[in-house]
Structures are given as structure tokens and as C-alpha cells.
Structure 1
Amino acid sequence: MDALLDRVRLWVAERHESLTNEFGAWVAQPSVSRTGEGMPEALVHGMDLLRGCGLEPEAVATDGIPTLIGTADGPPGAPHVVIYGHYDVQPAGPLDEWISPPFEPEIRDGRMYGRGTGDNKGQHLAQLLGLRALRELTGGLPCRVTVLLDGEEEIGSPSLPRVVRERFADDRPDLVLWSDGPVHESGRACVVLGVRGIVTFELRATGPTTALHSGNWGGVGLNPAWQLVQLLASMRDADGNVLVEGFNDGVIPLSPQERAALEALPLNLSEVLAGIGTTRLEPSAEPGYYERLTAPTFTINSLTCEDAGEHRTVIPSVAVARCDVRLVGGQRVPDVVEAMRRHVAEHAPDIEFIPGGTMSPSRTLPETPFTRAVLTGTELGLCEPPLLVPALGGSLPISAFTDELDVPCYGVPLANVDERNHAPNENLELDRFLNGIVAAAAIQLTLGDHR
């Protein structure tokens, strides 16, 4: 295998300029799912990329934006590997904050800048090019492969569970690979085993029909802001414990292997806190930094009295809190939403509970059969032993595979920590992109040996 990987590295080195140009052309194609900008053209571009990497392309119709699927056969008895990515991107955001236009990729200081570079075009393109390299060097692939590029990830992947269910109902894969998000904050490569889920919601309290003078009506006019903060205080205590009955139902404790993986992760806590401009952690019942990122949370995202920022001495007529809760393995989105709705109805029946976007958590245990092969392939490809991360703090739609198919899912992030995904000046280090091609090929080879 070492000799073949040396050939893959040479293949990448000899083609680095054309591969980088291919990356730039993909970023230059807008594909904003939230607005629809460029999506029809991106579908055609994505189909061409799949075809150009030796895959049989197909556009699967959904109720929204089509899903792109590419398939390739492997040797008899080889694992069936699904590679998940998404071809939609976030809106550009404030154009005046971009150094170069978001859909005119530019290389500066060894990085490509543009919307979608790290999230997710550069990362899934590295996976695709790893397949191309193996096919051109060996005439085939070591595994049977299905590439699935989601067109709706940035709007919550509403169609993905149905596509997964229907596509793989009679042809269950052995595992799923995905590359998204940054490497570990230390800069080390990592393999990620899960993601937290999310439920977003709004709490809306109303009082008088218009704002009232706080002197003339103070103590008389119902104040929705006080109603709201008292409700919020009943939902989480000062130690970070969520008090909503039923919220923690089903939470699966960390396994000994997951705890061991967390304890092995490097951490300079004071440096991490200094990086976000604080000196202490949020109060929490969980003592450890990484344990907190694998536990359920309740976050107030914003509080407002809809006073247009005037801050007058009034009793407001409306008070709004926008919140999210992060979920872990064993928690079910419908159960959590119902627990929240029930709590609001019992404690503040006049306050409206408005559910928003949701995404289920996903969990793969370290002891699952393919973990060692993915770790080995990542190390061989990136030339460093990767950290094993039980779960990301954030959310991705990976539960569409773990819940619908009951198969293990492995994340191999290829982006730099400061990729600025979702923000102006999103970027991806070109060395990480090119090395990611080698890593993608190496993982396929180690999985092909796992029979």
C-alpha cells in the first residue's frame, strides 16, 4: 500500500495546478440553496464532476433541490462505502466584508478564498479526486462506492432522510464517510464519530397592545419581558442543568471507549478561553471541556422586546427569545419538541412556543468494526496519527444514515480551523485540499482490505 500511496502523492503533485483550477471552478459556481441562486447550473456542474471521477451520475428528484448521486462498482466482497457531502453553500453575507468577491475564488498565502471552499466543496471534491486518482492508477476502486451530494444541507436537509431511505432500502451500505468542518482546534487531523442534534424555537410573550409608560403603568400593565425571563429561568438552572421534564429522556451515557477518546484529546483551556475573550467556562454540571461538547445544552440565542433598539422607559408590548437546544445520542427530536411545548404550556400558558429547524443527533461508537481502518487510512494519507473525536459540538444531517440505515458514520474533516465557514472570507488551505486527496485514497485502500 505504501508504494501505491507514493504514486497517489506523485499523481497529485504532478497535477496540483489543474486540480486547484478544478477546485476554483467549483467554488466559482454559485449554489445557494436558501435563495436558489445558481442551483440549476450547480447541478449540471456537480454531475460533470461525478462523471469526471469515474462515477455513474444521477440527479434524484426531491420536493426541493435534487440530490446528486454517483456510483462505482468495486471488487466482489468489498465494503460498500457511501461518501456524503453537500453542494449547496451559505449566502455570501455582507459583500463589503469580503476581500475578494465570494464567487470569484482567489488564492492568497496558500489558501483559496470563496464561498463554499471549506463548506463543503473543497472537502467533498478531495474525496472525489481521491477516487479519480485510484481509478487512473489502478484501473478500478478497492471498494464499491456511492457518492451522495446533498443540495439542501444549508437549509436543514429536509429531503435527505427520504432519499437515503428509498435509495438504500434494499442495498444497505457498510459505512458512511463524510468530510466537513475543521480539523481539531489544535490543528491535528481527526476522525469524528458523531454530531449533536439541534432543535431551534422561539418563545413569544405578548402584553399590552402598545408599549406603555413605565411610570404611569408600572405595576399595573402586564410586562411580557418579565413573563419571558421567568419562563426561561424555569427551563435551566444556574448550574446549566435543563429542568424541562422529559428533555433528557433517552440520553445514552458515554461508553468507556468514548471517555478514553475524550481524555486523549489535547487541551490548553486558558488558551482556548483567551481566544474567545473570556476567562471561565459556562456554568455546567459537566466538569470537563470536551464532555460539555458531548452533552445536551440549552442556549438563549437572542432576547428582544422589539423596541427597535430604542431602550425607552416603557413596559414593552412584545418580548421574544430565540433559543436552541443541542441533543445527543438517544434523544429524539419529536420527544424534545413535545417536552418543550408541554413545559411552556404548564409554566406560562400565555407565551407562544414556535418550533423552528431541527436535526437529529448521530452517534457511532469507537468499537464499531471500521473505526481502525478509517484511523489507519487517515494516518497513512495525512502522515500524522489522527485524534479520535467522539462527537462534534455542532450539527450535521448524519442521522439520516445512522437512524435510517443503522450503519456507522465517520467524519474526516479536511479544513483548517480558521476556515471561516458561513462567514465572509471563507477559505481552505490548498495543502489541506491536496493532502486530503491522498487521505481519501488511503482510506479507500484500508477499507478495501477490511473484509
Structure 2
Amino acid sequence: MDLAEQVRDWVTEGEPRLLAELAAWISQPSVSRTGEGMAEAAAHGLELLRRSGLTPQVVETGGWPALVGTAPGPPDSPHVLIYGHYDVQPAGPLHEWVTPPFEPDFRDGRIYGRGTGDNKGQHLAQLLGLRALRDITGGLPCRVTVLLDGEEEIGSPNLAKAVRQLEKPDLVVWSDGPVHESGRASVVLGVRGIVTFELRVRGASGVLHSGNWGGVAPNPAWRLVHVLGTMRDPQGRVLIDGFDDDVVPLSPGEREALAKLPVDVPAVLAGIGAAGMEPPSGPGFYQRLTGPTFSINSLTCEDGGEHRTVVPNVAVAKCDMRLVGGQRVDAVFAAIRAHLERHAPDVEFVPGGAMSPSRTLPETPWTDAVLRGAATGLGEEPLLLPALGGSLPIAAFSDELGVPCYGVPFANVDECNHAPNENLVLDWFRRGVVAAATVQRAIAEVGR
């Protein structure tokens, strides 16, 4: 019997206990934004590391602590760091939950509760994969470090500080976010970064009657619209000098992987009620998700939603930019500031949160091993995604440590992460446990 079959049997035999362990972890609140349950969750997470045969420790960061577990492997075996996060999003509107967010409920082949898919269920599958390896083979095939971040849902502001306190691994494996939107298993090589900011324009000292003052008093809303027009043209080109100067072109392996990804663009657009994609017209669907973007998230005149016939005195645009390999947060912020100094020095620029992009090339030596291990454990050939459209703090490893990073998601497409009724399909959880073990075995075979 091969390892995958042995781990599947291990999961089947222990399923009541494993699901009870999952439910107990979900029932422990750990909301980093408010602090709800964080101290208790840290203690719970340390115990999970200990139960998985790891030596646990708390790594202080100045914020919510990181939880670290380590275990030796055979001599000269690869050192794998597994990343996850134990904090979760706030529950959100309680009336929209079918069952309470921190009272996990099993129904229709899923477990519902805050943190099921994002990220407790996924990193628990990784830990159980290590536990299965110990029970079945007597040890781990690789040297392992597990790092559970306590601040991912607030942007991981102190993750790099924690990472600097660890010994450098050979590679990083993480399980977060959903599988490919087609429902296929996937291996993810990178994530886009993000910067958020506000543009604020002020007019008169107060709101004015548009009949008495229209055409006389400066209108900050029109000023803001015109400023935004200097930053992106109707064809979708970002006009901020230096914004994308550092973008690294896609490698041949990345282009090949993108070309293999399945997508029915008309069906995707119909699903969101859109008639077409955003300009420009040239790039394909997945090429767009590997490039930098500039989005206006909201426009407001701070009128409380009353929409009176007035000349407003304040106009605000909230924006974000998604970043790709090569772009640096500080350089992008500097480019925006320089653009505003040239075109609109009267506009206030308020920088917000930021996260750097991370990029691992398909040509990296560990890629085939991770793909092979994931295919064996998940029971299907995974799609290779050069980058997620969204953002995760993986640059804390790829940039700080200079090591390749691989995402192997174990959550269903409709996991509703960050939303009411967050859930995890139990079959993905079971398969995730198996894949966590087989990926470790495949990595070890390359390292020999």
C-alpha cells in the first residue's frame, strides 16, 4: 500500500476525532482586529503544534504573537516551512449566519463557522498530515518548521519580524484561499501585493447651497474627478510615471502555465452581470490577474448619503493598486506622491495598508515535486497558477528569506471567507490531510 492510501485509511479510521479537533479549533474565537479570544487561541494553537509532534514556542513580534513548531528530519533532508494563520475575520452581521459563527455546524458535507476555510481548517490539515506521517512511518521525511501568524487578517504587519527569528528553510508551503474557480485542485506560485490610499480634496469651509454658490465656490468633487483622470486614461493605462517601471516580465514557464488555465470568459462575465472586461481590450483573463492594477474602491462627498443640492466641501476617493513581481511598495507610494505634486499639489494623499507581491517561477527546482505530491494526495492533477489575483503576506518569506513559496489550497471555491456562513467542504479537508503528507514525501525525494 502506498503512502497516500495509508494516509487516507488513517483519516477514515480517525475521522470522528479529527473532525472534533477541527470543530474545537473553529469554536475558539481569534479575531486579531478586536483581540477577541486571541490569548486563548494562542494557547490552543500551541497545543495543536505539540499534538502534531512539534516542539512549540511563542515568537513575540510586538503585536499578536506568532506560533512556531519545529521538528527534525533525517540528516541532510530538506527544510520545509509551513505557513498558516490562526487569526480570523470578525463575524460580521450575525443575522446573516444560519448558525452562530463560533459554534461550528456540520451539514451537507461541510463545516460552517468563522475560520473554517480561512485559515484554521487548512493549516490543521497540514498539521494532521504531519501527524499521519509520524503515526504511519515513525517520523517526518523532511525537517519541518510550522509558523502560524496571529495577524494575517490585519495585514501581517509584524510577520517579517517573526520570520527573521527563524532559521532559513529551503522552501515554504502554504495552504490558504480557495482552489481554482473551476473546482480543480491547484498549486499557486505567487500572490499580488497591494497598496491602499485615499485622495482627499477640500473646498469651502462648509457645505453650500448649489443655487447660491454653484459656479462660484470651488467644487472638490469635480476637482477630484479631474485629478483621477490624470492617473488613468479611458484605455486603462495607468499614467503615473514610475508606477510599473520595476515590473518583471512573465517567464516562459509562467506564460505556458497561464495558457493552460481553463476559463469561459462569457460565462464568467455573465455570472457577475457584466457585458465585458475592463479596458484595455488586449490581455486575456488570466494575464490581467498577473498584472498591476489601479482601482477606485469608492467616491464620496461625505454627505451622509443625503445627496442634497449642494456644493460639497470635501470629496474623497478610496483606491487600491495591486502589485506584481518586481514592484516595491515604497516605490509605488513615491510614484503616486510625485504624480500629485506635479498635477495636483492641493490634493491630500493619505497612504493606507500595504503588502508586497511574491513571485516563485515555475522553473524553480522544487516546483515539480510540489505538483507531484499534490497530485498524489489530492487525487487529480493540479492546475499551476503563476499568481493569485488577491494578496497574502508571502513576501515575508520570498523577499526576507529569498526562498521559493508554494500554495496548495485545500478550500472549496464557495468557502465564503470573510463573509457570513464561511464553510469548508469536508472532502477537501480530508484530501488536504493526505496531500500535506504526500507533498512532504515528494519534497524529501528531491532532496536526497
- Normalising by the residue count of structure 1, what TM-score does the alignment of the two structures yield? 0.98
Deviation of residue 279 (structure 1)? 2.1
1:307 corresponding residue in structure 2: 303
1:159 corresponding residue in structure 2: 158
Deviation of residue 256 (structure 1)? 1.0
1:394 corresponding residue in structure 2: 390
Give SS of 1:15's match. helix
**1:51 counterpart = 2:50:** yes
Give SS of 1:230's match. helix
Q: Deviations along 1:230-281, whole A, 9 cap, x unmatched? A: 1111101111111101101210010111001000000111111111111211
1:433 to 429, 432, 435: 429
Kept after mapping to 2: 8 A contact 1:286/1:292: no
* Structure-1 separation of matches of 2:280 and 2:23: 43
Kept after mapping to 2: 8 A contact 1:241/1:285: no
Give the AA of the match of 1:428: L
2:133 corresponding residue in structure 1: 134
Give SS of 2:352's match. strand
Percent identity, please. Answer: 69
**1:189 counterpart = 2:188:** no
Give the AA of the match of 1:415: A
Kept after mapping to 2: 8 A contact 1:300/1:322: yes
1:24 corresponding residue in structure 2: 23
Kept after mapping to 2: 8 A contact 1:71/1:147: yes
Give SS of 1:81's match. strand
Give the AA of the match of 1:24: A
2:371 corresponding residue in structure 1: 375
Summarize the alignment of residues 18-417 of structure 1 with structure 2, pairs less than 5 Å apart: 18-168=17-167, 172-284=168-280, 286-417=282-413
* Structure-2 separation of matches of 1:222 and 1:4: 72
Deviation of residue 285 (structure 1)? 5.7
* Structure-2 separation of matches of 1:433 and 1:207: 55
Kept after mapping to 1: 8 A contact 2:3/2:438: no
Q: Deviations along 1:357-401, whole A, 9 cap, x unmatched? A: 000000000000100000000000011000000000000000000
* Structure-2 separation of matches of 1:285 and 1:407: 36
Give the AA of the match of 1:45: H
Kept after mapping to 1: 8 A contact 2:415/2:422: yes
Deviation of residue 284 (structure 1)? 2.3
Give the AA of the match of 2:153: E
Give the AA of the match of 1:337: F
* Structure-1 separation of matches of 2:270 and 2:415: 19
**1:443 counterpart = 2:439:** yes
Give the AA of the match of 1:232: L
1:165–1:286 Cα change, 3 Å: farther
Output the aligned Cα RMSD: 0.8
* Structure-2 separation of matches of 1:16 and 1:286: 49
Q: Deviations along 1:74-114, whole A, 9 cap, x unmatched? A: 00111000000000000000001000000000011011000
Moved more, 12-21 or 159-168: 159-168
Give SS of 2:32's match. coil
Q: Deviations along 1:8-65, whole A, 9 cap, x unmatched? A: 1100011111111110100000000000000000000000000000000001111110
Give SS of 2:249's match. coil
Deviation of residue 350 (structure 1)? 1.2
Structure 2 spans left out of the alignment, 5+ residues? none
Give the AA of the match of 1:48: E
- Normalising by the residue count of structure 2, what TM-score does the alignment of the two structures yield? 0.99
**1:11 counterpart = 2:10:** yes
Give the AA of the match of 1:140: G
Give the AA of the match of 2:443: L
* Structure-1 separation of matches of 2:58 and 2:235: 49
* Structure-1 separation of matches of 2:236 and 2:195: 17
Segments of 4+ moved more than 3 angstroms:
none
Deviation of residue 189 (structure 1)? 0.2
* Structure-2 separation of matches of 1:236 and 1:192: 30
* Structure-1 separation of matches of 2:134 and 2:433: 13
Give SS of 2:30's match. coil
Give the AA of the match of 2:283: P
- Alignment: residue pair count: 447
Deviation of residue 286 (structure 1)? 4.7
